[in-house]
């Protein structure tokens, strides 16, 4: 990929306006890169590049305050998000973020807290409730990633509502502070029509303020389609020009 190939998008990026990259991570650990794993040295590089480029980390609570009450945001905000709440988040990415002055939002698969990643066959520990309280005390924001990590594309409205209410009830009973933001498991949501309308009605009903899908786009503020905000998937191969393009455009291809 050449600089010429991405120049139109780069010029668009430089054209002004407040842009908000929402970056999506899963596993950050000393391991070989794959579609869900970013090695430690690559993650550190991501944060160093963000800092050099003048990006400042915010959380969804900041975004809500900005959009609902006019609270100012930094000139170049960025949102770091982590899905699935793997237990080694504390040992690895959290340690690097604390060192470099970053914060993030972790989306909890609430029914699997204290267990394993059963949706991927198991074998990898998920934070327990003590871990969840610890990261919250370290300034990490917590959001919803469903109860059972089921794809909402495969659930009816009643099941989605029950799933979300179970999350909210459990977080309340455990006295866990959280933001009313949902990351759809697998990024799954109806594309439109009656099923999409039902989903958005349920999210409104239970008090969800933003919901996040997977996609390759950098948002411009104010946000549009608040129940389908796109996140930029971050991979272990995202270095150099690939990383620059993802931060500028949300993707590596035009």
**Residue 209 confidence (pLDDT):** 98
pLDDT at 2 over 90: no
Query: pLDDT at position 35, please?
Result: 87
Predicted confidence (pLDDT) at residue 192 exceeds the cutoff of 90:
no
Domains in the chain with CATH codes: 18-249 (3.20.20.370)
DSSP 187: G
Per-residue pLDDT of 133-190, as tens digits, reads 999 999 999 999 999 999 999 999 999 999 999 999 999 999 999 999 999 999 999 8
Taking only the tens place, the pLDDT of each residue in 112-138 is: 999 999 999 999 999 999 999 999 999
SS3 151: coil
Residue 243 contacts by C-beta under 8 Å, 6 or more apart in sequence?
A: 45, 46, 49
1 pLDDT exceeds 60? no
pLDDT in tens, 65-82: 999 999 999 999 999 999
pLDDT of residue 17: 59
Is the predicted pLDDT of residue 7 greater than 50, yes or no? no
pLDDT of res. 237: 93
pLDDT averaged over every residue in the chain: 92
Query: Quick one: pLDDT at residue 8?
Result: 44
Terminal alpha carbon distance of the chain: 11
The C-alpha angle with vertex 211 and arms to 24 and 112, in degrees rounded to 5, equals 70
* pLDDT score recorded for residue 191: 83
In the chain, pLDDT over 90 holds for what percent of residues?
86
- pLDDT at residue 233 greater than cutoff 60: yes
Nearest 5 degrees, angle CA 39-CA 96-CA 14? 80
């Amino acid at each position: 990929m050449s600089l010429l190939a991405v120049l139109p998008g780069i010029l668009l990026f430089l054209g002004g306006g407040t842009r908000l990259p929402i970056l999506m991570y899963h596993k950050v650990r000393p391991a070989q890169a794959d579609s869900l794993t970013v090695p430690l040295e690559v993650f550190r590089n991501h944060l160093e590049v963000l800092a050099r480029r003048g990006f400042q980390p915010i959380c969804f609570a900041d975004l809500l305050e900005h959009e609902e009450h006019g609270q100012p945001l930094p000139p170049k905000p960025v949102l770091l998000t982590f899905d699935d709440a793997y237990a080694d988040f504390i040992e690895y990415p959290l340690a690097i973020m604390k060192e470099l002055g970053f914060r993030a939002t972790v989306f909890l698969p609430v029914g699997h807290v204290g267990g394993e990643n059963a949706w991927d066959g198991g074998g990898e520990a998920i934070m327990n409730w003590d871990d969840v309280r610890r990261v919250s005390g370290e300034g990490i924001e917590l959001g919803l990633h469903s109860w059972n990590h089921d794809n909402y594309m495969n659930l009816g409205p009643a099941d989605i509502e029950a799933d979300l209410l179970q999350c909210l009830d459990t977080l309340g009973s455990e006295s866990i502070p959280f933001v009313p933001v949902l990351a759809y498991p697998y990024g799954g949501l109806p594309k439109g029509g009656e099923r999409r309308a039902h989903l958005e009605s349920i999210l409104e009903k239970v008090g969800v303020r933003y919901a996040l899908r997977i996609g390759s786009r950098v948002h411009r503020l104010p946000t549009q389609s608040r129940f389908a905000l796109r996140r930029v998937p971050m991979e272990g191969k995202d270095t150099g020009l690939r990383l620059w393009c993802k931060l500028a455009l949300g993707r590596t291809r035009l």
